Chains A and B, each alone.
Chain A
Amino acid sequence: MSLVQTDNLCKTYHPETVPVHALRDVSLTIERGEFTSIVGPSGSGKTTLLNMLGGLDLPTSGVVRVDGIDLGGMRDGQRIAFRLRNIGFVFQHFNLIPVFTARENVAFVMLLQNRCKSDMLRRTDALLDAVGLSDRKDARPRELSGGQQQRVAVARALASEPKFILADEPTANLDSESAMNLLDIMERMNRDQQATFVFSTHDPRVIERALRVVTMVDGAVVKDERHGDE
């Protein structure tokens, strides 16, 4: 069974006034351990697709299944609980809780999962070490650079031991060096921990490093290629 599967996913905004077709019949499968990039021009539906995959929004028609479970069949509260256990998120902005330190931000999702304190502390430290922020654990987001903040976000996304991580333009606000650093970390997590990443991007340097590239235009998938296949 595929980790994520979408069948004929459609999303239409303002269907009764001026319909905007953000997604058109998107059928896609994501397997465990994949490092997938969703690419395409602005307005092509990348973010809408990621929102559907993460259960942040519901399709107008079609189905999203994660591990065989239909996200559309859940009540809102169930979807939140499902995300907590199964999906990690890295956003472009507003990624971290500004009043928490890096350590607290990473630990927060585990607190929501009611994990035991010792496990939480051990995992938090290990994740922050892994993303190269051993010496910035007690810094608040405003004391961190954009790249460091995104690294904390990746650590937090991994903290809940999710089935997959969705990252929407994670490098968009980063300089080249920080972007490459972040990608290094994501790749390492993918390789070493078998973490599944699905991320959207415009950046050709990021696209180059993805193992699979799904290209979207006008809400439809127009190309789906695996670099390993070439």
Chain B
Amino acid sequence: MKALLTIAWRNIGRHPARSGVLLAAIAVGLWAGTVSTGAINALMQQRMTYLIESEIAHVQVHHSHFPQEFRGADGVPEYQAIETWLANDGRVRAFASRAIAEGMLQSPIRVSGANIRGVDPEAERRTTIFHESMTEGEYLDSDVRQAAIVGGPLASDHHIEIGDRIVLTFENASGELTAAAFHVTGFFESASTEYDRRTVFVRAGDLAGLLADQPIRHEIAVLLEDETQAVALAADLNRSFPDTLARTWRELSPELNMLVELGDVMLFIVTLIIMAALAFGILNTMLMALFERMREIGMLMAIGMSRRRVFGMILLESTLLTALGATVGMVLAWGTIRHLGKSGLHLDQFAAGAAHLGWDSTIYPFLTTAEYASILAVVIAITLLASCYPAWKAIRIRPLEAGRDL
């Protein structure tokens, strides 16, 4: 084995330029692919985290009719009892109850559809990071009566300034149209321009008072200490409060779940592309090396080197070559991901388009140890596979080749 390793190792050094080019190709390809994978991970994670932290949270509780049809009258049954239950559950970090209405926003210049969300500012602060989206003015915990905060693009469309009055019209719990004037105290900008263009936030108490005579909440968002407990908590809630429907973020946002799965698919595709290039590189180099050394390999078999050993020698040679390139590529990728994971990868030139789609302009690439390991495992597997053909060709060489020049 040592002799095979020595011969394989030294064969790599036989054509420094050729080996160097392949090494560089493997290293650069692996680096680029791994960093791309880290960036894809970051995009997916950022989107997921943002949606969870800014609005969805880990679990939401609604009226059991909520998924089929939203009606103002369908508040969460026993919502105060649920709040007490949540307050006493150790798995829960925070929760926020919300009143919701679908209606219209009327300004002096136009009318447009609006999703009106009544929130408890303090509870919302504890549960989501929505308050960090404020770009101008004050959040809902100001002293202003009937305060409203409006998405920046929506305010722009309506030419709304801070202090302006807007009229929100919606159907109350009895099915009657209700309208009320609100004072705009601030603007927000989330990661999604579309969301900002149709959403208005008011205090839950103000909205609930207009919706029904009794206190009403349509949604309770629950933030957990540990995301992995979401399924269990939702099941416990559904058992304890049968008229309600508690769902995890994966159920609430199938597109988010799909995004996570898409990330895995993209990881697979990127890896596949790199590996295909890697496989052809190895195949080409090893075949070239083989054709140059036909007589030498014939000589080795003539003097008694078994075909099994010849096969192993070729496999070892390509494995060593790939291991070198892969090590350089992976170390570079690890360093790059580590650096970008701290400083962030700035996608400023794409920021406008990214914001429209709900992405932030700075992402923080990362890769889990398992992902590094799986990339390495695939590299090794592909290398061995790609080397099999040249190795098979090598063992087909007849020892007679050694004397062919005579």
Q: Chain A interface (Cβ within 8 Å of chain B)?
A: 47, 50-51, 54, 56-57, 76-77, 80-81, 83-85, 88-89, 91-95, 97-100, 104, 108-109, 111-113, 156, 160, 168-169
- A168 adjacent to B304 (CB under 8 Å): no
B residues in contact with A98, CB < 8 Å = 14, 296
**CB proximity to A under 8 Å, residues B280-309:** 295-296, 298-307, 309
B residues in contact with A80, CB < 8 Å = 301, 304-307, 399
- B304 adjacent to A109 (CB under 8 Å): yes
- B403 adjacent to A168 (CB under 8 Å): yes
Stretch at the interface among B3-11, B169-177, B184-192, B364-372: B3-11
- B304 adjacent to A93 (CB under 8 Å): no
- A97 adjacent to B402 (CB under 8 Å): no
Known contacts: A80-B399, A81-B304, A89-B303. The answer to whether A94 contacts B405 by CB under 8 A is yes
- CB nearest to A85 among chain B residues: B304
In the bound complex, what is the Cα–Cα distance between A111 and B303 (angstroms)?
12
Say yes or no: is B108 at the interface (Cβ < 8 Å to chain A): no
In the bound complex, what is the Cα–Cα distance between A125 and B224 (angstroms)?
75
Say yes or no: is B129 at the interface (Cβ < 8 Å to chain A): no
A residues in contact with B3, CB < 8 Å = 108, 111-112
B residues in contact with A99, CB < 8 Å = 7, 10-11, 13-14
Known contacts: A80-B305, A83-B303, A99-B14. The answer to whether A92 contacts B400 by CB under 8 A is no
- B400 adjacent to A56 (CB under 8 Å): yes
- B406 adjacent to A112 (CB under 8 Å): no
Chain B contributes a number of interface residues (CB within 8 A of A) equal to 27
- A160 adjacent to B399 (CB under 8 Å): no
A residues in contact with B306, CB < 8 Å = 77, 80-81, 112
Give A151 Cβ to nearest chain B Cβ, in Å.
16
- A57 adjacent to B400 (CB under 8 Å): yes
B residues in contact with A160, CB < 8 Å = 303-304
A residues in contact with B11, CB < 8 Å = 99
- A84 adjacent to B400 (CB under 8 Å): no
> Max chain A CB contacts within 10 Å: which of B6, B300, B402, B405?
B402
- The residue that B406 contacts in the complex, of A47, A104, A108, with Cβ under 8 A, is A47
Q: 6 nearest interchain CB pairs? A: A84-B304, A99-B10, A94-B295, A111-B3, A56-B399, A56-B400
B residues in contact with A95, CB < 8 Å = 299
In the bound complex, what is the Cα–Cα distance between A89 and B403 (angstroms)?
10
Give B260 Cβ to nearest chain A Cβ, in Å.
50
- A94 adjacent to B296 (CB under 8 Å): yes
- A100 adjacent to B10 (CB under 8 Å): yes
29 example contacts (A-B, Cβ-Cβ < 8 A) are as follows A51-B403, A56-B400, A56-B402, A56-B403, A77-B307, A80-B304, A80-B305, A80-B307, A81-B304, A83-B399, A84-B304, A84-B305, A85-B304, A88-B303, A89-B402, A91-B406, A92-B405, A93-B406, A94-B298, A94-B402, A97-B296, A97-B300, A99-B11, A100-B10, A104-B6, A108-B303, A112-B305, A160-B303, A169-B406
- A54 adjacent to B302 (CB under 8 Å): yes
B residues in contact with A111, CB < 8 Å = 3
B residues in contact with A54, CB < 8 Å = 302
Given contacts A100-B10, A109-B303, 14 further A-B contacts (CB under 8 A): A54-B302, A56-B399, A77-B306, A81-B304, A89-B299, A89-B303, A94-B299, A94-B402, A95-B299, A97-B296, A100-B6, A104-B6, A109-B304, A112-B305
- The residue that A56 contacts in the complex, of B7, B295, B302, with Cβ under 8 A, is B302
B residues in contact with A100, CB < 8 Å = 6-7, 10
Known contacts: A57-B400, A94-B402. The answer to whether A156 contacts B302 by CB under 8 A is no
- A92 adjacent to B304 (CB under 8 Å): no
In the bound complex, what is the Cα–Cα distance between A159 and B80 (angstroms)?
93
- A89 adjacent to B302 (CB under 8 Å): yes
In the bound complex, what is the Cα–Cα distance between A189 and B303 (angstroms)?
19
A residues in contact with B400, CB < 8 Å = 51, 56-57
In the bound complex, what is the Cα–Cα distance between A113 and B300 (angstroms)?
13
A residues in contact with B403, CB < 8 Å = 47, 50-51, 56, 91-92, 168
B residues in contact with A97, CB < 8 Å = 7, 296, 300
